[in-house]
Amino acid sequence: MNKALLKRLIWTIPTLLGVTVVTFALVQLMPGDPTDISLRSKGIIPDAVSIAEIRRQMGLDQPLIAQYGAWLNEIFHLRLGLSFQSGLPVTKELALRLPATLRLMGASFAVACILAVPAGIVSAWYKQQHLDHAVRFLSILGASLPHFWIGAMLIYLFCIRTNLLPMMGDGGIMNYIMPSITMAAGMAAVYARMLRAGMLEAIADPHYKAARARGIKQSRLIVQHAIRPALLPFITVIGNSFGYFWGSSIIVEAIFSWPGVGRLMIDAIFNRDYPVIQAITLLTAACVIVVNLAVDLIYYWLDPRIRAEGGRYEEL
Amino acid sequence: MRIKNAVRYKAPIEMLKPWFILMLAVIVIAGCAKESSEAAPSEAKQITVASSTDSGINRLDAASYEGMMQAYPLIYDSLVEYGEKGEIQPALAESWDISPDGKEYTFHLRKDVQFSDGTPFNAEAVKFSVDRWANKPEHDWLLTSKNLKSVEVIDEFTVKLTFTKHYYMTLAELSYPRPFRIMSPTSVEPAGDPEGKFVKAIGTAAWVQAEYIQDVQTVFTPNSTYWGDKSGIDKLTFKVVPDSQSRVLAAQNGTIDIAGGEVSKIPLESLSLLKNGEKTKLATQKGTASYFLVVNDANKAIADKKVRQAINYAVDKQSIARDLFDGTGSPATGILPTTNAYVSEDNNKGYSYNPGMAKQLLNEAGWKDANGDGTVEKEGENLVFSLVLQTEEYPEWKPLAEAVQDQLSKVGIQVELKVLEQASYYDALWKNKDYDLLIYRTYADAFNPLSFLMALFYKTNEAPAVAFGTEQLSSLIDRAAATLTDEERFKAYNDIFQLMNEEAMSVPLFYPDDLFVVNNRISDVQLGATTFRPIVWEKLRLDEQR
Amino acid sequence: MRNFNIQRIRKMAGAIGNPLGNKIASSGLYILLMVIVVGILAPMIAPHDPLAVNLTAKLLPPSLEYPLGTDQMGRCVFSRIISGTMASLVMPLTAMALILLIGMPLGVIAGYYGGVFDRIIMVVVNTMLSFPNLLLAIVLTGFLGPGTLHILLAVVAVWWAKYTRIVRGMTLSLKEKPYVKASRGCGSSDVWLMFRHIVPGTVPTVLVFSALDVGRMILAISGLAFLGLGVAPPSPEWGAMLSDGRHYLQTAPRLLLSPGLAILLVMAACNLLGEGLRDALDVKR
């Protein structure tokens, strides 16, 4: 049984390597010379001699393969370089920003579940009735609106019109409400749809019918035989939503002045802060890989029937 | 399956209760992971200012470029300060003497000053700061550093700076936000070592650093040992709000008290809301910068003076100021507004709006719309320019560019807009000159006119000018830099501006006002003379009754 | 994890010819077609030139002359919305076509032949899929610079891998089907097999996913516009209009509303089409 699992684990390694190659290549593809940019970002007008000297110091005169090797070695030792903008080690910058983003992602995930779980269940239970239609309509709406549109509307309603919620920044629980709803809206729709489909499948299953025929308690019936089987595929979506949340954090953090990694990223892109861009891209991809691996392992552990072979191809 | 049958069961909503509770718990935990740092409105007189970037106070070495420009003057004083129209005012130096050849500057220091940590301020402290920046390659763009020969302590409160060459901008450069301000020798480790490692921002100015959360906020409190007037408030908080729209909303609901200027630009579209808002008012003054088009004479059409003049005639500066920007600035005439030193009504005439004249000039230059497609052409080729801009720092450039595009199309010049992100935009401007027209701004206040002209319009034998340059202009700029008296300087600048105007070396568009939105509870808002000291913070007062 | 049989494949293949068999899907399709028709006819039905600036008539409320009012440059919002249809739809549709053109053949070949080629492709695909779509799109557009072509490139570069993975997975199971094996036994060439039996089998799933993804691309593109990485002004692309409009949230909310609703309409149509097809063609998650 563990052969497939082992294979899955082993194939993670080339993927991780691939991620480092892409991240490294991104910087090579970028227009502009990193040395020049790093000097200019400090307000220094570079001249040819100092550029050549710095290039030599930074090892940029080496062949690409050697540069990649050196860089990989640095990464391996968790040395991500210095930010061009702030001059601080990138690891430190990340450590400073990561908690805020993770908290926001956690809150958004919670909000997505709070919205989606009841919606999905209700929708499945009242299949093709008004409630189902309403839920599906709302979920299409939620998935169809750009983040900043939702964000702007929330701000308009709760800050301008009523002044009920704080508008920006990290802080108390109230600060989480608007950004997490903005971020969760799209995902909640996906979750609800998955749950609905999963429950319908479970209800159609002979197990469910048998259980009902046995006349077991209704609450148990629903939880054990309708919701629980539906949750299993749900787990795989979590892996995917991780990447989704990470991507949308860039926009949501900009709207709500959230001091997280997303904002660091956008600043870095606009200022061509290569080390920061590289670090965040790498970190994100590594996280996505690890989370997906974890999800697979959990899935495997929960449902041994699943063959890891063939891969999971699901949405998003 | 028969879902209908299920209806005889209770609705499942009841069974969702545990879910709700569980999820609420999760969100509460997530939310409480960080203790609420909600600023309780205490009796402390506190003013919150929005800034678009982090102050960088933890690396605010007076001789570095790492922090927010406006943060330096809060902590550090300079020997002299820059006043309106370039009038140099005493600061840490009470008075100064300049030798007749313009190479020696002797500063007589104030005697009643100490650094915020109690370190005495004296000639040695000044020497420490000077040694920290003197002749460092990264400051070579400032001749004050590049040409410095020596710094001597004459006595406890007298310092002499000797330069290799005369340079009239020296005093103005000393007033810059960085790198020439005076920092305490105890700011570095080991203390007093000009090459020491920076540890903490300690200066003589009105404010000291109290609390700092990177990318969230920086709190300043009044410096109890400050030599100037005591501050009217107890706390000055710079809160990082990167999104301009969020700043407007925050100003409206009172989360922030002040926003605007270069610290945190407010979008012009929102000014009508803030002007006489429930909680807000505007504080404005004429600015010293201008928005203009850089023209690239590598384009053959633009190399023709008549075409450049035609572009100038075709732009309706009045309409831009009045209709597009709702009177939040003035129509541009010459490259710099008259709020700058050496710029006067006479040497700053500019071009009027005259599309007929523009068409005629194009005609004379051989550009005619023979095929009637609305675009002029010459030798079968349409007159098409690219217009490069960025919107991160200057969101209002997008409507401005669209207006210019429309106005030029009316005289038969087709314009393609290229919005670049910040880094590519600056690459286009400084390095690869990949544009025909490009929206840029002049520098402001103390950097005008000389630093600005040197940076953009100065051509050397080795390098062409960044924006537009001719040998004649370069020699005029050299002449201005070498002048010893104000009178000579005025004459030199008259010639410069007239040449630039006659040759249409740029297309001036708009003179934006300095704009600040201020909460109604604040009074005594006195705007500063420079963009790096936008408001005289220590003079702000809070109205008690509100 | 997927069971296919001939009948099901045939059913699917039959349903493709008649996607309107499902009410939800057809409503999505109709909305989309309607929008496209309006987009094509835009130059004829637009009351004003969508690019004509008139600064003295800016931010006007809706009137008979300007059905949706005017924007910050005094341009007719209604004309811009309908003229922007093509700009807003053509980009994601072109991107989708390119993605399928790249993603499907790679997936089929990788799945069909297996071996080293398959392994390499899958490592590349898994690598690409490790980067969140929006993040990679933002980084790429950030580096390449804004503009229609660059956005298109970024979207294609980000999205193709997903389709390779889907198609490869399906190819793996399809090639084991008895009828495929039988056909191979009869001496059919690989190319024939792939075109005749495998590609048609993947079409329903791919259709569902593409309908949903076109919608997502519209959202991603509007997100790029929000960050200042949108198409060049003054092109009336909806995401860019929306992004411009947000400065008028309080003074003229309609500038935010009308492009928002346009995007919503198309997104909803894509979602309806995708979801409907999913039900109709019985494509699993």
pLDDT tens-digit profile of A139-166? 888 888 888 888 888 888 887 777 788 8
Number of domains observed in the structure of chain C: 1
Residue appearing with tokens 């025929």: A213
d(CA B410, CA B407): 5
**What stretches of B110-249 adopt beta strand conformation (E)?**
148-155, 158-163, 188-189, 197-198, 207-213, 217-222, 235-240
Q: List B294's β-bridge partners, or say none.
A: B438, B506
pLDDT higher than threshold 70 for residue B250: yes
Q: Which residues of chain C have pLDDT under 70?
A: 1-21, 284-285
The CATH number that applies at residue C277 is: 1.10.3720.10
pLDDT of the residue at B9: 47
B10 exposed, middle or buried (CB, 10 Å; 0-12, 13-18, 19+)?
A: exposed
- The answer to the question of residue C243 being in a domain is yes
User: Nearest to residue B176, comparing CAs of B64, B94, B329?
Assistant: B64
A282 exposed, middle or buried (CB, 10 Å; 0-12, 13-18, 19+)?
A: buried
Q: Which amino acid is at B22?
A: L
DSSP single-letter state for residue C124: H
Give A110's contacts in chain B (Cβ within 8 Å).
23, 26-27, 30
Structure confidence at residue B39 as a pLDDT band (50, 70, 90): very low
Q: Which range has the top average pLDDT, A51-65, A194-208, B187-201?
A: B187-201
**Token output for C61:** 């409320």
Determine whether domain A98-269 maps to CATH 1.10.3720.10. Answer: yes
Q: Which helix (H) or strand (E) holds C213?
A: helix C199-226
Q: What is the mean pLDDT of residues A269-292?
A: 88
A window 251-270, beta carbon within 8 A of B: 254-257, 259, 263-264, 267, 269-270
Structure confidence at residue B546 as a pLDDT band (50, 70, 90): very low
- The answer to the question of residue C64 being in a domain is no
List the single residue in C with minimal CA-CA distance to A292.
Answer: C130
pLDDT of the residue at B8: 43
Cβ pair C228:B319 closer than 8 A: no
Please tell me the least confidently modeled range out of A162-176, B100-114, B138-152, B314-328. Answer: A162-176
Q: What is the mean pLDDT of residues B15-20?
A: 62
pLDDT higher than threshold 60 for residue B148: yes
Roughly how many angstroms between the first and final C-alpha of chain B, as a whole number?
A: 67
- The answer to the question of residue C277 being in a domain is yes
Residue B179: cis peptide before it, omega within 30 degrees of 0 = yes
A280 exposed, middle or buried (CB, 10 Å; 0-12, 13-18, 19+)?
A: buried
Q: In Å, how far is C37's CA from the nearest CA of chain A?
A: 21
**What stretches of B329-383 adopt beta strand conformation (E)?**
329-331, 377-378, 381-382
Q: CA angle B179-B181-B186, nearest 5°?
A: 105
- The answer to the question of residue C34 being in a domain is yes
d(CA A198, CA A120): 9
Which of C53, C142, C246 faces B421 most closely, judged by CB atoms?
Answer: C142
Instruction: Give the 3-state DSSP-derived string for B393-431, with helices as H, strands as E and coil as C.
Output: CCCCHHHHHHHHHHHHHCCCCEEEEEECCHHHHHHHHHH
pLDDT of the residue at B17: 63
Give C52's contacts in chain B (Cβ within 8 Å).
406
Q: CA angle C195-C197-C201, nearest 5°?
A: 105
d(CA C140, CA C134): 10
**Interacting residues of B535 by C-beta distance below 8 A, sequence separation 6+:** B258, B261, B283, B516, B525, B526, B527, B528
pLDDT one-digit tens code per residue, A99-136: 999 999 999 999 998 888 888 888 888 888 888 888 88
Region(s) of chain A under CATH 1.10.3720.10: 98-269
pLDDT of the residue at C7: 64
Q: Which range has the top average pLDDT, A56-60, B292-296, B394-398, C73-77?
A: B292-296
Cβ pair C133:A247 closer than 8 A: yes
pLDDT of the residue at C284: 59
Q: Is B282 helix (H, G, I), strand (E, B) or coil?
A: strand
Give A218's contacts in chain B (Cβ within 8 Å).
9-10
Residue B242, chain A, CB below 8 Å: the answer is yes
Structure confidence at residue B360 as a pLDDT band (50, 70, 90): very high
Q: CA angle C118-C121-C123, nearest 5°?
A: 105
Q: What is the mean pLDDT of residues A65-91?
A: 84
Q: Any idea how long chain A is? A: 316
Residue B190: cis peptide before it, omega within 30 degrees of 0 = yes
Which of A289, A310, A315 faces C130 most closely, judged by CB atoms?
Answer: A289
The string of DSSP letters for A16-32 reads HHHHHHHHHHHHHHSSS
pLDDT of the residue at B40: 46
Q: List B437's β-bridge partners, or say none.
A: B295, B387
Asked whether the beta carbons of C272 and C31 are under 8 A apart, the reply is yes
- The answer to the question of residue C212 being in a domain is yes
Domain of residue C179 covers 2-40+84-281
Cβ pair B417:C234 closer than 8 A: yes
Stronger pLDDT, B362 or A228, i.e. the higher one: B362
d(CA B158, CA B124): 9
Residue appearing with tokens 């299409």: A140
- The answer to the question of residue C180 being in a domain is yes
